[in-house]
């Protein structure tokens, strides 16, 4: 039985969203594949989407960034969490290596944990990175020149990434020169099924009104301008991670809809989001207009904004206007944009699988 040790960052949903379609495609061509998911991502994501034999081991794999909501990074908290994560580094690696050996792992697939890469190297297993970003590049803008501990953490991460057997770089991706070898591929995202239910009918949306899906990834929004949203005639809003008291007519709770997220997204008229990989590439693929709110300090943001503007219909909403609920003008403007001339890149799971299959003995 071929065994893949799949280490997935729990910093948002995007890392799991990149990996799941690849594992499904790999399971279609590698007989009796077993996947050990080493991650703290919530199990429901895999229960709903992963179609291979899998086992979840909820062991932290990296830090990523400590968030204060989806749009703000706690920089001091991020460095403190990395220091704590690295303090017992040798023990972490030893535990990962022992568990890999006990499981009889054939391949370590990392998105984008340097702990998994270091452990694969120590265990003499191929360690393949599958990603559109890496944590050294994420942390670089937050480094303070006078802080030796920042430099030490940054260099430690880079040293571990240099042990990678190979990087599969998912388009659109940032430059990741620290990896010793790489293969460029197309995007990785799941194709959604045709909707099984009429979302507009479920929500009571009248003809001519538009549905806006507010999707900011795995970190929930804690404060939204509900009064402004309620007064935004011609639009309805679907948002997750909040509790509604039932008094809002134009604001709906995502958790009340018993439908896979992909089917919901396909029925949205507009997606409002931060520039995150999974949401951007999926919305562009289904030709759904995007209104994005930028952070301006996250390393892959510009590449995703460029992707959305080149292959889709997308406009920026400023942080200030987002917070104040000044949305209607931008929503109307994005719906008025012409269809893009270029076809969007197709998912490339077959190309990714061709790279991965060579690491199996079967």
pTM of the predicted structure, to 2 decimals: 0.95
Residues 6+ away with beta carbon under 8 Å from 261: none
CA-CA-CA-CA torsion sign (113, 122, 97, 1)? positive
Q: What is the pLDDT of residues 257-274, one digit of tens each?
A: 888 899 999 999 999 999
Q: What is the pLDDT of residues 318-346, one digit of tens each?
A: 999 999 999 999 999 999 999 999 999 99
Is the peptide bond preceding residue 45 cis, with omega within 30 degrees of 0? no
309 pLDDT above the threshold of 70: yes
Interior angle at CA 14, CA 171 and CA 185, nearest 5: 20
Share of the chain above pLDDT 70, in %: 100
Rounded to a whole number of angstroms, the CA Rg of the chain reads 21
122 pLDDT above the threshold of 60: yes
* Residue appearing with tokens 């670089």: 140
Average pLDDT of span 48-57: 96
Which of 233-247, 286-300, 343-357 shows the lowest mean pLDDT across its residues? 233-247
35 pLDDT above the threshold of 80: yes
- The confidence score (pLDDT) of residue 277 equals 96
Share of the chain above pLDDT 90, in %: 89
Domains identified in the chain and CATH numbers: 3-190+348-357 (3.40.50.2000), 199-336 (3.40.50.2000)
Q: Is 4 helix (H, G, I), strand (E, B) or coil?
A: strand
Whole-angstrom distance, CA of residue 209 vs CA of residue 230: 13
Residues 6+ away with beta carbon under 8 Å from 17: 189, 190, 277, 278
- The confidence score (pLDDT) of residue 92 equals 98
Instruction: For residue 13, name the pLDDT band (cuts at 50, 70, 90).
Output: confident
Instruction: For residue 279, name the pLDDT band (cuts at 50, 70, 90).
Output: very high
Is the peptide bond preceding residue 172 cis, with omega within 30 degrees of 0? yes
Residue 324: count other Cβ atoms within 10 Å of its Cβ: 11
Q: How far is CA 222 from CA 70, 198, 242, 269, 290, in A?
A: 9, 28, 7, 24, 21
- The confidence score (pLDDT) of residue 256 equals 86
């Amino acid at each position: 039985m071929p065994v893949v040790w799949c280490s997935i960052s729990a910093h948002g949903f995007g890392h799991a969203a990149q990996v799941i379609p690849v594992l499904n495609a790999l399971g279609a061509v590698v007989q009796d594949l077993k996947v050990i998911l080493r991650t703290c991502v919530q199990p429901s994501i895999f229960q709903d989407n992963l179609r291979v034999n899998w086992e979840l081991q909820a062991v932290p794999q990296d830090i990523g960034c400590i968030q204060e909501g989806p749009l703000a990074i706690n920089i001091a908290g991020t460095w403190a969490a990395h220091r704590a994560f690295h303090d017992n580094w040798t023990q972490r690696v030893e535990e990962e290596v022992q568990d890999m050996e006990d499981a009889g792992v054939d391949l370590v697939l990392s998105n984008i944990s340097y702990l998994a890469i270091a452990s694969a190297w120590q265990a003499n297993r191929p360690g393949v990175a599958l990603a559109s970003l890496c944590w050294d590049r994420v942390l670089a803008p937050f480094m303070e020149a006078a802080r030796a501990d920042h430099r030490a953490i940054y260099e430690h991460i880079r040293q571990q990434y240099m042990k990678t057997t190979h990087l599969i770089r998912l388009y659109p991706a940032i430059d990741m020169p620290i990896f010793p070898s790489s293969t460029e591929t197309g995007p990785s995202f799941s194709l959604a099924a045709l909707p099984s239910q009429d979302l507009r009918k479920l929500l009571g949306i009248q003809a001519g009104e538009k549905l806006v899906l507010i999707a900011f990834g795995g970190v929930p929004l804690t404060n939204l301008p509900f009064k402004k949203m309620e007064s935004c005639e011609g639009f309805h809003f679907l948002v997750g991670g909040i509790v509604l008291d039932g008094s809002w007519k134009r604001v709906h709770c995502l958790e009340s809809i018993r439908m896979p997220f992909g089917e919901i997204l396909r029925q949205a008229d507009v997606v409002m989001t931060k520039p995150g990989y999974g949401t951007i590439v999926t919305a562009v693929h289904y030709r759904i207009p995007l209104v994005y709110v930028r952070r301006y300090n996250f390393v892959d943001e510009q590449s995703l904004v460029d992707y959305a503007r080149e292959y889709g219909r997308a406009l920026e909403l400023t942080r200030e206007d987002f917070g104040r609920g000044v949305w209607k003008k931008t929503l109307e403007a994005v719906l008025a944009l012409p269809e893009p001339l270029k076809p969007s890149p197709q998912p490339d799971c077959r190309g990714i699988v061709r790279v991965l299959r060579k690491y199996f003995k079967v």
